[in-house]
Amino acid sequence: MIFETIANTGHEEVVFCHNKDAGLKAIIAIHNTVLGPSLGGLRMWPYKSEQEAINDVLRLSRGMTYKNAVAGLNLGGGKAVIIGDPAKDKSEALFRAFGRFVNSLNGRYITAEDVGIDVNDMEWVFRETSFVTGVHQVHGGSGDPSPFTAFGTLQGLMASLNACFGNEDVGKYSYAVQGAGHVGMEFIKLLREHDAKVYVTDINKQLVQRAVDDYGCTAVGLDEIYDTDAEVYSPCALGGTITMETLGRLKCKVICGAANNQLASNEIGDEVSRRGLFYAPDYAVNAGGVMNISLEIDGYNRERAMRMMRTIYHNVSRIFEIAKRDGIPTYLAADRLAEERISTIGKLRLPHLSAVAPSFQGRRGN
Ligand code: NAD
């Protein structure tokens, strides 16, 4: 059954990691290493069943293959999950045991932070393996990726405006920003630097007040965000907010934001396209975070990071072009761009085995 699933999803390798003393139950899924070593975060979650954890890691690792490919990175897709409650089950032994499993893969999988994991947990992983990114800045890590993600989102936005309106004049349009968290607030700041009109909502009232006081945004209610007259809807909170119901209410022409998995389903993506809306696929727009940590592999450099974020403009433009060329919705065009790149570049090189920079391999957290 598991082999059938792996064959259907196209995974190369799935590793079940167990250490009784440390209480570790983890799964590492390597989806595709044609472009390079697989990179993707470690998630810790109290999954209700092992099957739920398997499904999640397979889905997420496949998603990383597409995200890394569209981002133009020389990296494949992988992901790891630890079955456990991040509020109760964390320990040095747990993360060091996990780090040993990562190390045993000799660079085929490089880990990072994801839901339930913070930079302190990564310190323990880093004791056991160099194949880790998102470590603290004192170890050459890249720190909070949110400002980079926001800047990358702005590049994706400009490409979307250009595809829709034929210009990329950010200040000329109005925006409905849903979520003023780490990325959302930085994005708002960038929009306001262009003097754009910004509507904002968040379940956290203090953040909304900050957006109003510091950046001159207009506050709207949680549900009202779908009814504004903004030309751009920018989901920067949770996923799944574009549904048949919200789509019926949105008056925007462009959808571009940092949230993951914005479309409630593929059918919604088809409907977005039928209605003539310009949807910038989430994983192409919000690649700033993974781009940023990927630079830790050869030695982090902020200038290189900013330069890399600008490529998001090109990636999103290319997706709109493919959608037009092939007459398909943009969410499918993004997948096609990823598949085309894996196929073309894959023919140039052999499947990846290990080789990351020797300096990266020699790193240790102690
Ligand atoms: P965050 O938790 O700092 O911010 C999310 C904000 O959304 C919070 O302020 C929260 O109160 C608000 N929120 C939650 N539900 C809401 C709702 N129903 N209506 C309005 N507001 C709501 O998270 P973040 O790091 O800013 O990430 C935002 C999104 O971007 C997430 O989907 C995340 O997966 C994605 N993303 C983030 C990064 C990054 O670099 N942080 C990178 C890629 C993708």
235 touches ligand 1 (CB under 6 Å): no
User: Do 51 and 101 belong to one domain?
Assistant: yes
Instruction: State the Cα–Cα distance between residues 180 and 203, nearest whole angstrom.
Output: 9
CA distances from 336 to 61, 92, 164 (A): 17, 42, 21
Whether residue 38 is contained in a domain is answered as: yes
Is any atom of ligand 1 closer than 6 Å to the C-beta of 236?
A: yes
Q: Is residue 361 part of a domain?
A: no
Q: What is the pTM for the complete model shown?
A: 0.91
Asked if residue 216 and residue 92 are part of one domain, the reply reads no
Contact residues for 100 (Cβ-Cβ < 8 A; gap 6+) = 128, 129
Contact criterion met (CB below 8 Å) for 70 and 341 = yes
The verdict on 161 and 252 lying in the same domain is yes
Indicate which atom in ligand 1 lies nearest the CA of residue 258. 30
* Whole-Å CA distances, 22 to 94, 96, 112, 171: 5, 9, 20, 54
**111 DSSP assignment:** B
Does the Cβ of 141 fall within 6 Å of ligand 1? Answer: no
Average pLDDT of each block of 10 consecutive residues along the chain (366 residues)?
Answer: 88 97 98 96 96 95 97 97 97 98 98 92 96 90 91 98 98 98 97 98 97 98 98 95 97 97 96 98 96 92 93 98 97 97 84 62 67
Q: Please, which residues have CB within 8 angstroms of residue 24's CB and are 6 or more apart in sequence?
A: 17, 18, 82, 93, 94, 97, 98
Beta-strand ranges (E) seen in the chain are 13-19, 24-32, 38-39, 42-45, 76-83, 109-110, 174-178, 197-201, 218-219, 232-235, 254-255, 278-279
Out of 151, 190, 236, 309, give the residue to mutate to test ligand 1, the one with the largest number of ligand atoms within 8 Å of its CB.
236
Residue nearest to atom 21 of ligand 1 (CA): 202
- Whether 145 is in the pocket of ligand 1, judged by its Cβ within 6 Å, is yes
Asked whether residue 150 falls in the same domain as residue 296, the answer is yes
Nearest to 9 by CA among 57, 67, 75: 57
Q: In what order do the strands lie in the sheet with 254-255?
A: 218-219, 197-201, 174-178, 232-235, 254-255, 278-279
Length of the chain: 366
Dist CA 88 CA 92 (whole Å): 13
Look at residue 348 in the predicted model and tell me its pLDDT: 81
Amino acid identity, position 94: L
- For position 352, what pLDDT does the model report? 60
Tell me: do 178 and 323 sit in the same domain: yes
Nearest to 276 by CA among 260, 254, 294: 254
- Residue 26 has what pLDDT? 98
Residues 308-341 pLDDT 10s: 999 999 999 999 999 999 999 999 999 999 999 9
Residue 355: what pLDDT? 57
**241 located within any domain:** yes
Nearest protein Cα to ligand 1, atom 12 = 179
Residue 90's domain comprises 2-64+77-132
CATH number of the domain within which 26 lies? 3.40.50.10860
* Cα 182 to ligand 1 centre (Å): 7
CA distance 176 to 188: 10
Minimum-distance ligand 1 atom for the alpha carbon of 282: 44
Ligand 1 atom with the smallest distance to the CA of 150 is: 40
Domain count, the chain: 2
Which pLDDT score, from 0 to 100, does residue 359 have? 66
Same domain membership, residue 160 and residue 106: no
- 192 lies in the same domain as 128: no
User: What residue owns the CA closest to ligand 1's atom 42?
Assistant: 289
Which residues, at least 6 apart from 307, have a Cβ–Cβ distance to it below 8 Å?
Answer: none
Q: In the annotation, is 79 catalytic?
A: yes
Is ligand 1 within 6 A of the CB of residue 142? Answer: no
The pLDDT, as a whole number, for residue 354 is: 59
